[in-house]
Amino acid sequence: MPDAEGAERSRTSVRIDLPALEENYRAVRGLVSADTALLCVIKADAYGHGAVEVGRRLQSAGAPYFGVASIEEGRELRENGISVPILILSGVMPWERLDSAVDYDLSVAVGNFELLERICAFKAVRPLKLHVKIDTGMGRLGFAPGEIASLLPLLEDLRAAEVEGLMTHFPSSEVRDEFGLGQVALFSEVIRRFEASGINPRFRHMANSAAICNYPEGRFNMVRPGIMLYGCYADAALKKKVLLTPVMRWASSIAFVRTFPAGARLSYGGTYVTEKETRVGYVPVGYAHGYPRALSNRGSVIVAGRRCRVLGVVCMDWTFVDLTGVPAAKTGTEVVLLGSAEGASVTADEMARETGSIPYEILCGISRRFKRVYVP
């Protein structure tokens, strides 16, 4: 077989459409009031799109705040010219230094007493900005509502930190329901308790991408768009509420073509058996590069404007596709794994449905071995 590494280096690319990113940002901006701030989530390397380039474009478009997962992600943005406020959504890990957050001017989410105690004892040249996280039903990070009576006195006595924000998170906002509405009501009550104690955070935020559409009462004065910035929908029903454009296009090329007679077994396990003479194209991309193995015998790619089925089990470095209906396809012909070509498309949402996953995982899983090429 041809060398997969050489083929992927020369023929496979991940194109990032920055104008589409900006269009999506403006679409989200149009959903909320002018006085509602957008905290654009660009953690996990902007969901695989490249945090630095995405951050630069969103900053130039007017994005007022970014969200990342770690000090390291925030440091990378600061060292590459990103000056807008940045929130570390996951807080500071026990092994990380608080002064690193101060050095890079990063705000920190705090949702447990262990971290808060460290902050209370922390001495810095300037106050550390905090976003206090309340667990209203996610069961992950955050102070429980029953802990607020113990929490408020500690916040009132803070000397080395400023409570800039108050936040919570939906575990399921794709569909509007009573549980979600109960979370909104609980968070509203928490806000009232904070205000009654004289703590008035500048930002109050709860709504992620789906919640921006489904829970307008949960927008407060800041929202946190993530997956929608990249042109994906957390739920298909949201397509009726906002028009988004996919930002990422992942394409490779046919490395070589073989023709098999009826009855031939293809790939590991022989799970696909040809029913007739079949032209098979070999694409030098596999699950090692982030193309899901779960798309074996069920996924589709775009070749010359036609949807072509994935045949057999996706290999570590190879994917087989049916070229029988595309007689013009040959070595070097483009294969679109994710994105559009000549009116046909494969979306991250579709790939997620086919694999029982979510578009977040599809986008984040595409290997960094493939260079991101940015359309300005």
Domain that holds residue 152: 31-230
Q: Which two tokens stand for residue 363?
A: 């986008």
- 43 carries an active-site annotation: yes
CATH of the domain at 356: 2.40.37.10
Say if residue 215 is in the same domain as residue 257. no
The verdict on residue 238 lying in a domain is: no
First vs last Cα of the chain: how many Å apart? 37
Say if residue 71 is in the same domain as residue 143. yes
Say if residue 120 is in the same domain as residue 184. yes
Q: How far apart are CA 97 and CA 91, in angstroms?
A: 11
Which pLDDT score, from 0 to 100, does residue 11 have?
76
The verdict on residue 306 lying in a domain is: yes
Say if residue 151 is in the same domain as residue 253. no
Q: How far apart are CA 125 and CA 103, in angstroms?
A: 9
CATH of the domain at 187: 3.20.20.10
Say if residue 207 is in the same domain as residue 252. no
**Catalytic, out of 239, 268, 330, 371:** 268
The verdict on residue 172 lying in a domain is: yes
Say if residue 35 is in the same domain as residue 112. yes
Beta strand 128-133 with 161-167 is: parallel
Q: How far apart are CA 364 and CA 359, in angstroms?
A: 9
Say if residue 287 is in the same domain as residue 314. yes
The verdict on residue 180 lying in a domain is: yes
**Catalytic, out of 43, 282, 291, 360:** 43
Say if residue 182 is in the same domain as residue 130. yes
Which pLDDT score, from 0 to 100, does residue 173 have?
96
C-beta pairs of 199-202 under 8 Å, 24+ apart in sequence: 199/152, 199/155, 199/156, 199/163, 201/131, 201/132, 201/163, 201/164, 201/165, 201/166, 202/164, 202/165
Which pLDDT score, from 0 to 100, does residue 5 have?
46
If one counts the domains in the chain, the total is 2
Say if residue 87 is in the same domain as residue 144. yes
The verdict on residue 59 lying in a domain is: yes
Domain boundary among 169, 202, 230: 230
Which pLDDT score, from 0 to 100, does residue 357 have?
95
Say if residue 199 is in the same domain as residue 61. yes
Say if residue 51 is in the same domain as residue 198. yes
Which pLDDT score, from 0 to 100, does residue 78 have?
98
Domain boundary among 203, 230, 257: 230
Per-residue CA distances from 109 to 4, 80, 164, 189, 367 (Å): 43, 23, 10, 20, 29
Say if residue 300 is in the same domain as residue 351. yes
Q: Are 51 and 67 in contact (CB under 8 A)?
A: no
The verdict on residue 150 lying in a domain is: yes
The verdict on residue 347 lying in a domain is: yes
Longest dimension (CA), the chain: 78
E strand map for 206-247: 222-223
Q: What is the pLDDT along the chain (376 residues), one digit of tens a residue?
A: 444 444 444 579 999 999 999 999 999 999 999 999 999 999 999 999 999 999 999 999 999 999 999 999 999 999 999 999 999 999 999 889 999 999 999 999 999 999 999 999 998 888 899 999 999 999 999 999 999 999 999 999 998 899 999 999 999 999 999 999 999 999 999 999 999 999 999 999 999 999 999 999 999 999 999 999 999 998 888 999 999 999 999 999 999 999 999 999 999 999 999 999 999 999 999 999 999 999 999 999 999 999 999 999 999 999 999 999 999 999 999 999 999 999 999 999 999 999 999 999 999 999 998 989 999 9
